[in-house]
Structure 1
Amino acid sequence: MRRIRAAACGAVALSLVLTAAACGGGTSGTEGSNERPKTLTYWASNQGANLEADKKVLQPELDKFEKETGIEVKLEVVPWGDLLNRILTATTSGQGPDVLNIGNTWSASLQSSGALLPWDEKNFAAIGGRDRFVGSALGSTGAEGQDPAAVPLYSMAYALYYNKKMFAEAGVRKPPATWAEMAAVGKRLSRDGKWALGAEGSNLSNNIHQVFVLAKQHNADFFTPDGRPDFTSDGAVAAVKQYVDLMAEDRIIAPGNAEYAQNQSLSDFAKDRTAMVLWQTASATFTSQGMDEDEWGVAPAPVRSGKPGPGAATNSMVAGINLAGFKNTKNIDGAKKFVAFMTSDEEQVILNKAYGSIPPVKAAQQHPAFDTPALAVLRDTLATSATALPQVPEESQFETVVGTAVKELFADAAAGRPVTTGSVRAKLDKAQQQMPKK
């Protein structure tokens, strides 16, 4: 099963305390020597079907970089289940890579450790300037009012993927554009042991992505403007209940999905067990699981009414992968050269085309490779109707405790226990009590 980037764009369980301990880069050098190091260590996230697939994509590009600069890049592709804890260990031990990929929602949390290189105007100038990057992608690079802790590398957005065969068999002619349409269409598609919509109730990060978007549609957020947790507002409660009610009340999600972890819903979709799935940049996954491109379609994720857009018409979080560096690397010049290379127009086209993602670099985004129907939906979503998750130091804890609350509510729904406004609020209140006190 392909491990794609869902977890990339959301943090895994994080209870460790981020500290400002100095972090030495992975490049060694001679103390007092003026000789510039000729190697870099790079932790890449698992973007492809498996670790070997990533190496096949990345190694030719790293060889190209070495030919251009004389700097060898030592590559390690790290599974998503291990990446965050590896990074946290590096921030405290001082034994980390020079350059690394991070999920963009981790940016503010890792920024608060003090270990990452700040991307001030001087450092941005070394890679061609801040203006090269799409604004929505820059919005997920660190806390507001601070220099970014990372640079956008791959951009993604959520969309509604639908199985054309299952739609035709149920007499459904077009994908739902609103949640009311989703419930109506879903009842027609949920039959004969098959279900309308896939979910992953045990996937904490995916739970957060979905309820965050629904909270925006209810004019709510999970944090106050000054960064304090606000999990029990009426809008946040309504958002979580609406998501779980797709199983509990509408009955268009299979009860078994309450136990699903990463990518299990995509497998059901590819095997004609589920007619729709809300996911980010999933086309390459379906291809890897044997689906032909003409077997599925893609449309904007639903909104409450009208068309997707900003504010209450938000229909995706800003998903993506950022490229960061440890600021105490012994090869900071080489690290900046590498970031400049990976975010160059040419490399952005090569890498994002290989992974089915969208370049966060404006010029690369205009390449014809990203004008396919599926990618055009994602590109338009990022440009017009996606919002960054809260860029606060406690974002990782938020994903853990609220993601777990949603998981527990899905378990209630699957077991036939009532999911009420009161029970949702109680779960969210418990989650809020687990957050660090300010």
Structure 2
Amino acid sequence: MKKSTIRLLGAAAVISVAALGLTACGAGGTSSSSSTGSAVDGKGKTLDVLVGANAQHADALRAWQAKIAAALKKQTGADIKFETFASANDELTKIQTSVVSGQGPDVYTIGTTFTPTAYSTGAFVKLDSAMWDKVGGKSRFVPATLGISGPDSKDQIGIPFASRPYVLAYNTDMFKAAGLTKPASTWDGLLAQAKKLTGNGAYGFATGYADGYTPWKYAWTFANDYGTPLVSGKKANLDSPAVKKGMEAYFGWLTKDKVVNPAAAGWKDTDAAANFAAGKSAMMLMTTASAATTFDASPIKGHYAFAVMPTVPPGRAAHPPSRSRRPRSSRATTSSSRRTRRTRTWRPRTSSSSRARTSSSTTTRTSATSRPTRLRRRRSSQPTRSWPPSSTPAPTPRARRSPVPGATSSSR
């Protein structure tokens, strides 16, 4: 575990070094770095980096920031200034104000939902082959994670750096006491187990019904599992029978099956995690391995395990015929609804004239509803382009741990 963390922290530092070189080049100045890997002279320079705030694991975030700052200082002589955003609205505001003013962060570390918004402004730098070489080349990344870095392979503005598949956590002691060995591979089977685990003040499932993200995870997951994607091209199938059946099952756990604490109607994901960590629920659904930081600091330390989420939808014993029959390992780790992704993007420091040009080209950004990755901003105005594309490449099975232990919903 330590080796993995150190390696990813090192990768983050490498990307920050590249950002320093890219920012200098983008600003029209000279830089001693090149695609051949020569050293960057960052003495007297400061890299401004935007990251998501993490109130639940503030100490871990500060430690990560200090380690990255020390690594960059040692390698380049440059300093890092970290800025944070606390919510999706704050995140969008940071992008909008920096695009209009031409000032703000050099590196944006944000969820991929806003990538189309950032791309549509024309203010972020497209990464060419030389720039990709500075971070080790595209081959070092899982191909599917590049699918949200831009509208196509030639127009990419974000570099992936973390991807965590959604899993479920279960209390091994409660499972053993109920005569169960592991979570079922179908949602009906999992519900049957949850009913068996409910009683004496404990519940089978813990989930946050009032969370701003969690209900959408289930809508997306169940729609896909039933063989009807939540989004087809430019159409959102919110009123499809698949979504209806999925949501009936999801809310039915609370209202009909009674396998969720009634208080969960007002829970966020952090509340659900706390309930599971207290040993009051047998399973925590739609979590990530980064939750281990919370669980290991609770009474269930050493008494829980992670498992893949079921992929057979409620009311079915097998996948619908129309569903693509990928290997289970692929389905369990690659559904877009089951992974969180974060990327890095850059913007160069701009002159006053280019800021004026940029501000005039931002009228389309507020119409987009998705989130950016780490982007670099262009100096000159660019024509806006329609995005996201009508279809997104299916992810391939592989997950990367977050360099920040315990990262929570800000990365969704």
SS in structure 1 at match of 2:245: helix
- Hey, what does 1:232 align to over in structure 2? 239
| Structure of higher RCO (CA pairs closer than 8 Å, 6+ residues apart) | 2
Residue from 275, 281, 286 that aligns with 1:274: 281
Unpaired runs of 5+ residues, structure 1, are: 1-26, 338-349, 358-398, 400-438
User: Is the aligned partner of 1:326 residue 2:326?
Assistant: no
One-letter identity of the residue aligned with 2:346: G
Residue from 65, 75, 80 that aligns with 1:73: 80
- Percent of pairs identical after alignment? 25
Normalized per residue, the structure richer in helix is: 1
One-letter identity of the residue aligned with 2:236: P
The whole-number CA distance in structure 1 between the counterparts of 2:180 and 2:29 is 70
The whole-number CA distance in structure 1 between the counterparts of 2:272 and 2:127 is 37
Residue from 136, 139, 150 that aligns with 1:128: 136
TM-score, scaled relative to structure 2: 0.67
- Distance 1:89-1:243 versus aligned 2 partners, 3 A rule: farther
User: Is the aligned partner of 1:297 residue 2:318?
Assistant: no
User: Is the aligned partner of 1:263 residue 2:284?
Assistant: no
Kindly indicate whether the alpha-carbon contact (under 8 Å) linking 2:61 and 2:404 is maintained by their aligned counterparts in 1.
Answer: no
User: Is the aligned partner of 1:60 residue 2:28?
Assistant: no
The whole-number CA distance in structure 1 between the counterparts of 2:180 and 2:243 is 32
Query: Which residues in structure 2 correspond to 1:251-400 (within 5 Å)?
Result: 251-278=258-285, 279-281=287-289, 282-289=291-298, 291-292=300-301, 294-304=302-312, 305=318, 308-309=328-329, 316-328=337-349, 352=402, 355=405
User: Is the aligned partner of 1:153 residue 2:203?
Assistant: no
The whole-number CA distance in structure 2 between the counterparts of 1:142 and 1:243 is 33
Kindly indicate whether the alpha-carbon contact (under 8 Å) linking 2:166 and 2:333 is maintained by their aligned counterparts in 1.
Answer: no
SS in structure 2 at match of 1:76: strand
- Distance 1:59-1:239 versus aligned 2 partners, 3 A rule: same
User: Is the aligned partner of 1:208 residue 2:229?
Assistant: no
- Distance 1:111-1:242 versus aligned 2 partners, 3 A rule: farther
Question: How much does 1:327 deviate?
Answer: 4.8
SS in structure 2 at match of 1:125: helix
- Distance 1:38-1:200 versus aligned 2 partners, 3 A rule: same
- Distance 1:189-1:153 versus aligned 2 partners, 3 A rule: same
Residue from 193, 206, 218 that aligns with 1:185: 193
The whole-number CA distance in structure 2 between the counterparts of 1:284 and 1:180 is 30
Kindly indicate whether the alpha-carbon contact (under 8 Å) linking 1:49 and 1:288 is maintained by their aligned counterparts in 2.
Answer: no
Kindly indicate whether the alpha-carbon contact (under 8 Å) linking 1:217 and 1:312 is maintained by their aligned counterparts in 2.
Answer: no
Residue from 193, 196, 210 that aligns with 2:204: 196
Kindly indicate whether the alpha-carbon contact (under 8 Å) linking 1:41 and 1:75 is maintained by their aligned counterparts in 2.
Answer: yes
- Hey, what does 1:250 align to over in structure 2? 257
Question: How much does 1:145 deviate?
Answer: 5.8
- Distance 1:262-1:155 versus aligned 2 partners, 3 A rule: same
- Hey, what does 1:94 align to over in structure 2? 102
- Distance 1:280-1:89 versus aligned 2 partners, 3 A rule: farther
The whole-number CA distance in structure 1 between the counterparts of 2:171 and 2:331 is 29
Question: How much does 1:130 deviate?
Answer: 0.9
SS in structure 2 at match of 1:213: helix
- Distance 1:193-1:356 versus aligned 2 partners, 3 A rule: closer
The whole-number CA distance in structure 2 between the counterparts of 1:192 and 1:134 is 45
Question: How much does 1:256 deviate?
Answer: 1.6
TM-score, scaled relative to structure 1: 0.63
- Distance 1:110-1:33 versus aligned 2 partners, 3 A rule: closer
SS in structure 2 at match of 1:288: coil
- Distance 1:323-1:314 versus aligned 2 partners, 3 A rule: closer
- Distance 1:329-1:308 versus aligned 2 partners, 3 A rule: farther
Kindly indicate whether the alpha-carbon contact (under 8 Å) linking 1:163 and 1:295 is maintained by their aligned counterparts in 2.
Answer: yes
Question: How much does 1:265 deviate?
Answer: 0.4
- Count of aligned pairs between the two proteins: 314
SS in structure 2 at match of 1:40: strand
One-letter identity of the residue aligned with 1:325: W
- Distance 1:352-1:69 versus aligned 2 partners, 3 A rule: same
One-letter identity of the residue aligned with 1:308: R
Question: How much does 1:351 deviate?
Answer: 8.1
Kindly indicate whether the alpha-carbon contact (under 8 Å) linking 2:83 and 2:105 is maintained by their aligned counterparts in 1.
Answer: no
Question: How much does 1:147 deviate?
Answer: 2.0
- Distance 1:245-1:92 versus aligned 2 partners, 3 A rule: farther
SS in structure 1 at match of 2:345: strand
- Hey, what does 1:421 align to over in structure 2? none
The whole-number CA distance in structure 1 between the counterparts of 2:213 and 2:179 is 33
Kindly indicate whether the alpha-carbon contact (under 8 Å) linking 2:219 and 2:230 is maintained by their aligned counterparts in 1.
Answer: no
One-letter identity of the residue aligned with 2:347: F
Query: Which residues in structure 2 correspond to 1:132-147 (within 5 Å)?
Result: 132-144=140-152, 147=155
One-letter identity of the residue aligned with 1:41: D
